[in-house]
Amino acid sequence: MRRPRIGILGGTFDPVHVGHLVAAVNVRHELSLDQVLLVVANQPWQKVGSRPVTPAADRLALVRAAVAGCPGVEASDIEIARGGMSYTADTVAELSAAHPGAELFLVVGADVAHLLDTWERVDEVRRAVTLVVVNRPGSRVAPGDPAGSLAGWRVQTSEIPALEISSTELRERAAQGRPLDFLIPPEAIRLIRERNLYRGEEMTGSSSRA
């Protein structure tokens, strides 16, 4: 019997945007995954103290709205339900226990692949997953690159269209009342407007995978 193949794409998703979905659907197709989970961080340890983070319940609602009707791509509240700081090692362990025998694929951008050694209990993650590095044209990261930082990982790569979309810029657009159309899925835009998210916020910092 074929082992279930589950992708894990974690993030703050503040807010979710089409770049996240393009990555999810392309990785799922290229690697024949049964599902890709968009795992919404509860308290993202990398961002604590750097800027205000939208409440987890709102970010989860946006992701659920964004993936509605997208086969094989699901919003996951596993880190929110667990509470506290969100660490990938805890999430991988919990998913391994919930899906015995499943193959887990951790999806990361090429821009953060060299930062994996800064993660909490990264050795546990390395042993449990296959790393999927999402490349954009012109910024390829191959197994073993850069400078051996991926040594010891089981690595696959997936190339997606070059969509340079920043969650920071999207929050700024929302705060200024500028259009979000074609950058964020329509149902998520509707929720942003209904909940009056990001309006009047003072934006600080930047991140391409917030």
Q: Are 8 and 104 in contact (CB under 8 A)?
A: yes
pTM, two decimals, is 0.90
pLDDT at 163: 86
Per-residue pLDDT for 14 more than 70?
A: yes
Q: How far is CA 7 from CA 12, 13, 92, 171, in A?
A: 17, 16, 11, 27
Q: What is the pLDDT of residues 45-84, one digit of tens each?
A: 877 667 889 999 999 999 999 999 899 999 999 999 999 9
SS3 annotation, 33-74 = CCEEEEEECCEECCCCCCCCCCCHHHHHHHHHHHHCCCCCEE
CATH number belonging to domain 5-194: 3.40.50.620
SS3 annotation, 10-25 = EECCCCCCHHHHHHHH
Q: How far is CA 205 from CA 50, 59, 182, in A?
A: 7, 19, 24
Please give the Cα distance from 8 to 58 (Å, whole number): 20
Q: What is the pLDDT of residues 181-205, one digit of tens each?
A: 999 999 999 999 999 999 865 433 3
Tell me the pLDDT band of 87, cut-offs 50, 70 and 90: very high
Structure tokens at 107: 């999806």
- In the predicted model, what is the mean pLDDT of residues 151-165? 91
The overall average pLDDT reported for the chain is 89
Residue 111 or residue 70, greater confidence: 70
pLDDT at 141: 58
Residue 34 or residue 2, greater confidence: 34
Q: What percent of the chain has pLDDT over 70?
A: 88
pLDDT at 145: 53
Q: What stretch of H or E contains 8?
A: strand 5-11
∠ CA 126-132-133, nearest 5°, is 110
Tell me the pLDDT band of 124, cut-offs 50, 70 and 90: very high
Q: Are 70 and 109 in contact (CB under 8 A)?
A: no
Q: Domain ranges in the chain?
A: 5-194
pLDDT at 209: 35
